[in-house]
Structure 1
Amino acid sequence: MKKLFIFFVLSSFVFSCENDDSITPVEDPQVIAEFRTNLSELNLYAGNISDLVLSTRAFPYELNTPLFTDYAHKQRSIALPPNTSMEFDGDGFPIFPNNTVIAKTFYYNVDERDLSLGRQIIETRVLIKINGDWESGDYKWNEDQTDAVLEPNGSTLPITWIDANGVSNSTTYAIPSSSQCFDCHNTYGNTTPIGPKLRTMNFEVNGVNQLQKFLDNNQLRGLSDVSSIGKIVDWNDTSESLEDRARSYFDINCAHCHIPGGFCETQSTLNLAYETSLEDSNIQVRKNSILFRVGSYNPGVSMPFIGTTMLHDEGVQLIQDYLDTL
């Protein structure tokens, strides 16, 4: 009789909880817009940090043509402060509110043919908008993959992985220093993002236009029609024109330095932004120099200066094919 009574009480409690509208689910903690010692302290991830499951306070984004970094995979995310949105400001970067956190995590799958074998996470690069200005920091993941520590000085790490064709690859991956990060994330002396321009995110992800999804989720406002936004193309999509593919590749891999106000402005006459006309870009005039710089890997000479330790064979071939038409 006593056991029956306890069961009745517990059952009644569970039933009342399931039907009590006043009980709300526990929310993930707020993302911390500060450069703390450990990445886990920023609350960008939920649960086991090495699972790379984003907090409900952050959302992923993807780029139609991503930047090449030694064939590493990247997880990109944005965390906006509560009750804020990105503001439409043309085809380029939206206006991000203060205390926005943008993160990009780099990793390699052990074997691209069998993802159950796991991955090696290398680094997480973070941008935080503080009082109107962007600040950057880089977190290096520990060997146990339990956390990442803020590392301003840069380092190298031997990496080995097996690609989708079963070929074993290796490199000495270079994690950039804070000063090297600034070289690329520098426009007129100010730190800026590189990837999340609206025209770079204006494409379908899982069957839904990414910008429309941002609008529907109140993560972006001030834009009424995503079709009014220009777009770059996927460099690897052969249904697109060779010129559009090559110019898109230049835009994401090279234009952050080769634009007015960029790191290479005084060293080069190239302007590789996608929207720049061919004539004004100087690509045709400088095509031999471009091929010399990207056609072989020579530290200090080849392009880009930092961020890679090997050639992107497919990207080099694309550039070669395009320049051969000029």
Structure 2
Amino acid sequence: MRLLVSACAMAVLALSAGASEPAGVADAVILSDGLPRSLSDYGFFKDASAWQPNDRVVPYSLNTPLFTDYAEKYRFIYVPEGQQAKANGDGMIDFPVGSALIKSFGYEIDGKPRLLETRVLLHRADGWLALPYVWNEEQTEAVLKVAGARIPVTFIDPSGKKRSISYGVPNKNQCKECHALSDAVVPVGPKARNLTHDGQLAEFAKLGLIDQEPKIEYRVPVWGETGAPLDDRARGYLDVNCAHCHNINGSASNSGLFLTYEENMPVRIGINKRPVAAGRGSGTHDFDIAPGDPDASIMIYRLNSLDPGISMPEVGRSIVHDEGVALLSRWIAEME
């Protein structure tokens, strides 16, 4: 599916290159003080089922994406006509006021992709606003669900296993748990170092979406890319799945566990680090990462748990990411 999305993305990018003005995106809605009731109010898509983006609504994909119960994700960036985002090296792209990030979640069911929700991040004059929209059965509209929702879904995971889950759409306040930095809502996904495949950054610059193609000192590898070093893949996985909270300014800063890709102090990424507050979340284990022993590591214990008081991440999953746990377990097992 990832290759298909990338191919579609490049096709749309090529078509968008000739566009001279936005066609249908409602800038006034993005910038307004209100909470639009329907996804279609924004005009991000040409079709009601949200598969054909409007001009300047550009698809993108990440080297390593956040795990969300094996959901497929379809990501788009919108930057208003006459403006550009600023690419500042490896880190987060700086989007101007009036921009939007759109991410739809869904599964392939009975051979067809089906959307469950679409989340939007709107950059308004007073900062970023995160809103969740839930799709109807007919797949013709997604409506605002400030309180979130639970959606029963059955799908086949990448290993061929049939899964039945109660998929969780976060409420408006839960969005802040991942998207908060120093108490302000911010984007967390589109870091330049995680956008390096398929020539995306060069294409963004060509389209005028960003001011320049940034020089990348180190890229986040595809976590399942077996040819890449194990340490790089594990650190990339942690950067994407954990570091939005576990960073020096994030909501988990008081833990002393900092999992950003650029962190280089072993104890700060958990190696032989005791938890700040021992409790149920640590089980009977002493260290966040016990080198050579994944089964004795709090990190693996929490990633393997579905108990709301123990599991990590705290929101965004209702099942264990088996492949992610296997990757991190191997990484810890090979530590000396």
Q: Distance in 2 between matches of 1:119 and 1:86?
A: 31
For 2:204, which of 200, 214, 218 is the aligned residue?
Answer: 214
Q: Distance in 2 between matches of 1:312 and 1:158?
A: 18
- In the other structure, the counterpart of 1:28 is 23
After TM superposition, what 4+ stretches of structure 1 lie above 6 angstroms from structure 2?
24-27
What's the CA shift for 1:292? 1.4
Q: Distance in 2 between matches of 1:161 and 1:128?
A: 31
Q: Does 1:272 align with 2:259?
A: yes
CA contact (8 A) 1:79 1:102 kept: yes
- In the other structure, the counterpart of 1:315 is 324
- In the other structure, the counterpart of 1:40 is 40
Q: Do the aligned partners of residues 88 and 280 (structure 1) sit closer, same or farther apart at CA in structure 2, a change above 3 Å counting?
A: farther
Q: Do the aligned partners of residues 27 and 86 (structure 1) sit closer, same or farther apart at CA in structure 2, a change above 3 Å counting?
A: closer
- In the other structure, the counterpart of 1:262 is 250
Q: Distance in 2 between matches of 1:197 and 1:270?
A: 21
- In the other structure, the counterpart of 2:79 is 80
Secondary structure, aligned partner of 1:211: helix
Secondary structure, aligned partner of 1:50: coil
Q: Distance in 1 between matches of 2:159 and 2:252?
A: 37
Q: Distance in 2 between matches of 1:164 and 1:325?
A: 26
Q: Identity over the aligned pairs, expressed in percent?
A: 34
Q: Distance in 1 between matches of 2:267 and 2:20?
A: 55
Q: Do the aligned partners of residues 282 and 167 (structure 1) sit closer, same or farther apart at CA in structure 2, a change above 3 Å counting?
A: closer
Q: Structure 1 counterpart of 2:88, which letter?
A: D
CA contact (8 A) 1:76 1:105 kept: yes
- In the other structure, the counterpart of 1:7 is none
What's the CA shift for 1:283? 2.1
- In the other structure, the counterpart of 1:55 is 54
Q: Structure 2 counterpart of 1:324, which letter?
A: A
CA deviation profile, 1:33-73 (whole Å, cap 9, x unmatched): 154110011101112x2152111230011110000000000
Structure 2: tracts of 5 or more residues without a match = 1-18, 273-287, 290-296
Q: Structure 1-normalised TM-score?
A: 0.84
Secondary structure, aligned partner of 1:177: coil
| Equivalenced residues, count | 290
Structure 1: tracts of 5 or more residues without a match = 1-23, 112-116
Q: Distance in 1 between matches of 2:114 and 2:232?
A: 34
- In the other structure, the counterpart of 1:190 is 184
Q: Distance in 2 between matches of 1:185 and 1:319?
A: 24
What's the CA shift for 1:27? 6.4
- In the other structure, the counterpart of 1:242 is 230
CA contact (8 A) 1:202 1:229 kept: no
- In the other structure, the counterpart of 1:299 is 308
Q: Do the aligned partners of residues 46 and 325 (structure 1) sit closer, same or farther apart at CA in structure 2, a change above 3 Å counting?
A: same
- In the other structure, the counterpart of 1:199 is 193
RMSD across aligned C-alpha pairs, in angstroms?
A: 1.9
Q: Structure 2 counterpart of 1:143, which letter?
A: E
Q: Structure 2-normalised TM-score?
A: 0.82
Tell which structure's C-alpha radius of gyration is larger: 1
Q: Distance in 2 between matches of 1:321 and 1:31?
A: 48
Q: Do the aligned partners of residues 100 and 155 (structure 1) sit closer, same or farther apart at CA in structure 2, a change above 3 Å counting?
A: same
What's the CA shift for 1:26? 10
